[in-house]
Chains A and B, each alone.
Chain A
Amino acid sequence: MISPMEKLRKTEVYKSIFRHKYEDTPRNRALQIVDNVFLHLHPVRVPRHATNIGYTWGMGGITFLLFLVLTLTGVILMFYYRPTAQYAYEDMKYLMHDVPFGPLIRNMHRWGAHAMVITVMLHMFRVFLTGSYKPPRQFNWVVGVVLLLLTFLLSFSGYLLPWDQLSIWAVTVGTNMARATPLLGHEGPFGPQLGMRPDADVRFVLLGGTQVGPPTLLRFYVGHCIFLPLIATIFMVVHFWRIRKDGGISGPDTGKKNF
């Protein structure tokens, strides 16, 4: 008598999805990684210290996980949110009081974003302390700094979207700096001499106006939901790919090949 499970494994549909058996052999373990597009991010084997959470702190992976959580919850939030001064705040109230699981989704997005800023900083701290930016990984550190900057920009642009007092004034304080940009801001060194005006300088381009207003909301919304995640994704792809190409997780040079 063969079990239903075994019967299932013999069907054409099952075999077309799962390309290899699951018996515990080194070959099947390797196939488990290389036959899966997501797990294929990993090499088949790693040095033992790479699996030690005390070494990596898991911060890079946690940051990526949080990015995925933020993408998912962010898309759900977009169903309920209109980026206009007229509706934005009302939509937030609706979300927090009437949408089923609305508060949970928004809270996960907000707290996940804060957590991601923290984990990015800790990831960078760990990479520095283990000297993992040293050859051959120099360029991947540069990519990482760009990702740190993009994380700040993503978080900052999202800060404005609730369109409450907290967001508008935090973004006002932040973007007021732009008016002092040397050469390009109307209050920056040599800005006025170069013809910068409150309605014609780098801050005006950023805000779409002379102060944080409805055009700013739309600009930040598009940047937050489309432009910045797209750019961040591209840099993340390079970041992850370079980890593999630069020899996998960093470790002391013991003369063995590391990939």
Chain B
Amino acid sequence: MAGDQHKEKGKVFTRRSLLMAGGQAVLMSALAGRLYYLQVIHSDEYSTMADENRMNLRLLPPLRGRIVDRFGLEVASNRHNYRVVLIPEQTKSVEATLDALEQFVPREMIDRERVLKDVKRKRSFVPIPVVDNLTWEQFARINVNSPDLPGIQMDVGSTRDYPYGKLFGHIVGYVGAVSEKDLQSQEYDPLLELPEFRIGKSGIEKYYDKTLRGKAGLSRVEANAYGRIIRELNRQEGKPGNDAILTIDKQLQEFAVRRMGEESAAAVVIDIHSGDILSMVSVPSFDPNAFARGISSTEWKALIDDPKRPLGNKAVGGQYPPGSTFKMIVALAALEAGVVTAGHQVFCNGHTQLGKHRFHCWKRGGHGKLNLEDAISQSCDIYFYDIARKVGVDNIAEMAHRFGLGEELHIDMLGERDGLIPTKAWKLAVQGVPWQLGETYNTGIGQGYVLTTPLQLAVMTARLANGGKKVSPRLVRSITGDILEGAVLPHPEPELENLDLGISQKSLKHVLNGMYKVVNGPRGSARAAKIRVEGWEMAGKTGTAQVRRITRKERIEGVRKSDEKPWEERDHALFVGYAPFDDPRYAVSVIVEHGGSGSAAAAPIARDLLQETLRLDPLRKPSYDIAIRRQNGGGDA
């Protein structure tokens, strides 16, 4: 019986173990099936996921193009910026990492609030800038301790540097971080998403941003589970931005800024043939470096609250009544319309009556009998009331537009204003009331509704001096290197023979003679501001623009002298001029806000600017772009 049971036990064992072997075989097959499912059927998906795990694309920001002056001096360049960025997804806690970082960097350097805001706003793998402009020592210490700072990455960026600071503040402008508004308004460029990326915010930096920006490179890197980059898989180099060569001569710019001193003023020096702006000054100015590194709120408030408006570029954006500098336009309008000849004479006794209203000349006693050239040189108001009335406001406006007044000149910079040249139609449309003859009188002496910018006045003077050619202003002569797609190009050099404004040389000659006498005539209003170098003689026109209307009561009590009034009520002083008279090359316009009279405050500045321009004579020296072209052995490009 025991034997039977033994046998039976063996049988059961065999049966059961076979059953189990079967079960195990089924389970092993399930494993093999699962292996097939993962490694064959879904292999592609998992391969993609493995690649997503390990591969990161990194954008390589290109080096921003430099901005150099006419002769190649760097006025905007790049310098190393040692800094720290934070990658939120690699930290255990952003707060804890920032706490740890404070052991190496002064607490005030970290704008915690901003960092935490950025962390919330951006995707967690986007590096957030934490501290900028570290010293080399700080940078090295953080680098050594980086294992204790999860999520912190070291970075050497490049910062925009403006070696001449305020000197070029308005021209070059500055760069700044990309704002939400920039992101929405600009054409999409992945570079804009980089936290450290800077784009032009004003001046040349903004206008030529696409040219200076360059093209991003791409780097595909392999990163491990902790986010450390193991190696670079491949790299596609970007292209650095193009350099922009300005028309400005830094030496002249420096002289001009110094000459303007503490005034609130603007000046433009222009090449009358090419339209190259050799100097453009708006003082007081600001230091673009402050903006590039991030301006403090106190600095910002000081700039905003300054009554002399340092942030505004008065040269292109300041609108002033041109005063007597407008008289050339009125004279030309009258001559070209044929309503008067240069020999037309008017007797000035100091005032003229129009209906109930009495119009005064600036000279109380009057000028006596004058012809056109004398009227310009002595700036007689009565004469211009007369010829303005004869030619009519619409003809004056037409002539003003021919000389670039009252409209944008499309200089390669933002912030340009139109100014205003009134017409009858304009007044009816805007004010709904018909034009009054008295307003023609006011227009005739560049007052009333007329508004111009210093740039427009400089261009006007250039067009007068170059014989009535429609020259346009430009700030950038050329850009270097291969021109990238989407780059903004500088204005080409004008071909003046095709740009004639259609003014008769005879009319022009009388006006220019008048301007010569302003400075060099015995009774010229700016005779105190002659250039005494033979062959460099200046011609020009003074202007004094009323800020406030002179009331009847004031006139009876005696007009106060300008320097007796509070600063903000004083007249604006203007001067436009060119030189040399015999062979004109350079034109200038100067406005000194609340400077008093044009002859006293603006003319001497203009004289000094022109004289210095002639001394430096930038047009006679090879500019940087030509030097480069010669170096490359190329001909004309």
The answer to whether A and B belong to the same complex is no
Q: Name A's B-contacting residues (CB within 8 A).
A: none
